[in-house]
Amino acid sequence: MENIKWKGLLGILFLMNGVVILIWTYSSWHPNYILISPFYNKLRIPETLNLITPIKDSKHFMVSAYIDHRIDETIRVISIINRESLQPLYCVYCNTKHECTTVETDVQIHSDHFGFPFHVSDVICKGKHLQNATHVLISTNDSVNQTTEFLPIRNRVMSETFKYNFTVCISNLFGDYNNVLEFAQTIEMYKLLGVQRVVIYNTSCGPDLEKLLKHYEREGTLEIVSWPIDEFLNPSSGWNSTKHKGDLHYYGQLTTLNECIYRHMYQSKYVLLNDIDEIIMPYKYDNLPSLMKNLQAAHPIVGLFLIENHIFPKTQFDDSGRFKRQEWSKIPGINIMEHIYREPERKNVTNPTKMIINPRLVEQTSVHSSLRHFGDTYNVPFDVCRIVHVRKRLQGHLTKDQLTVDKRLWDFEQELLPNVDNALKLSGLLMP
């Protein structure tokens, strides 16, 4: 009996040795084929849990990976590439059997880098059987070991039905941002307008706002994406590389906007791209569903709707004091309900825009317009929809009498105020 056991054990070892030799032989004949060792973790591919992953032996970073069904089902790895340190890069993609293939890549650096050395880029991987790929990494050579962390590949399955109708992508929170009252008012305003999901990329925020974020996350309204870009680069706090020094434009704003589009490509029918101090506000319609139903019916091949930005100076207040509420006196932040004065149009000056997009028709985006897209673009008229943007004044020479009264926010007073109060109470920021 003992001899039989030993013979069985020797047979298993002999078989395993034969498999290893066969793998080594096959790999030597096929240098672009890798099999992650079958004797580690039941063939489990090590997967990164971070959104920012350094590419080994380079100055570049991987962010996230998606199948792009619109372009020959390529793998698109959203990345941050140092434009001054370009080098050949390879794509290693693996399937459910953990068979991995290595191919060369096409690195597409977005055109709107504003002079910064690091910028959002698409690393495009093309090869065979990409539809079966589950994980990918970008490498500086055509080999990889089992300790290298891979990105999971998302959007592997197309969908024509969506979990959300409207998702707002907010690019960045940084600098211990703690504008609690405006944040709550904006989120509650968007909920009344028909938004089901808000995505925020968080580098840093203040302690009060963190409580509010956690409330909205528990509620299911907010998706918080950790964005510790300052742990890897020296991000700029502005858009102008000569004025605002740093490695990367505005804390990686363009990287996060593009990432958000692909993240919600098959989750949301429409995506709004704007900042947290901006509200894309319908004026001719009661809400966003009514707005987009009519706009899309009138312009069926349009995938990008550009919305004009209009400034409501935070230094000018409603004289009546109607919304100077005692309940909000100790809540940090701007009370947007008090700011009803809008700067007028300027001759020969084009207002910047933000966007409502069909994410399946956008390939690359900038802040105010798309860089690459399918379908047409439409500039939404001022009287149909415009952005309510409470911020520092742009036309500083104007007096209050020279500004235009715009009370559109007040139309939502009866529902908005109690909803904001409730959110602040559930966050522990306002006493019940």
- Cα separation, 283 vs 299, in Å, equals 19
Beta-bridged to residue 82, according to DSSP, are: 118
Residues 6+ apart with CB under 8 A from 211: 427, 428, 429
Taking alpha carbons only, the member of 249, 3, 232, 219 closest to residue 115 is 249
State the fold for domain 33-154: Immunoglobulin-like (2.60.40)
Q: What is the pLDDT of residue 99?
A: 87
At residue 411, what are phi and psi to the nearest 5 degrees?
-60, -20
The whole-number pLDDT of residue 143 equals 72
Rounded average pLDDT per 10-residue block, the chain, 432 residues: 50 49 39 37 70 95 97 94 96 89 95 95 92 93 74 95 97 94 98 98 97 98 97 93 91 97 98 96 98 98 97 96 96 98 90 97 97 97 97 92 97 98 98 87
Question: How far does CA 122 lie from the centroid of its chain?
Answer: 14
- Structurally, what CATH architecture does the domain formed by 164-426 represent? Alpha-Beta Complex (3.90)
pLDDT on residue 147: 61
Write down the pLDDT at residue 196.
98
Instruction: Using alpha carbons, select from 274, 262, 291, 63 the residue that is nearest to residue 194.
Output: 291
Amino acid making up residue 49: L
Backbone angles phi, psi at 33, to 5 degrees: -125, 130
- Amino acid 240: pLDDT: 84
Q: Please tell me the predicted confidence (pLDDT) of residue 347.
A: 84
Residue ranges of the chain assigned to CATH 3.90.550 = 164-426
Where in the chain do CATH 2.60.40 domains reside? 33-154
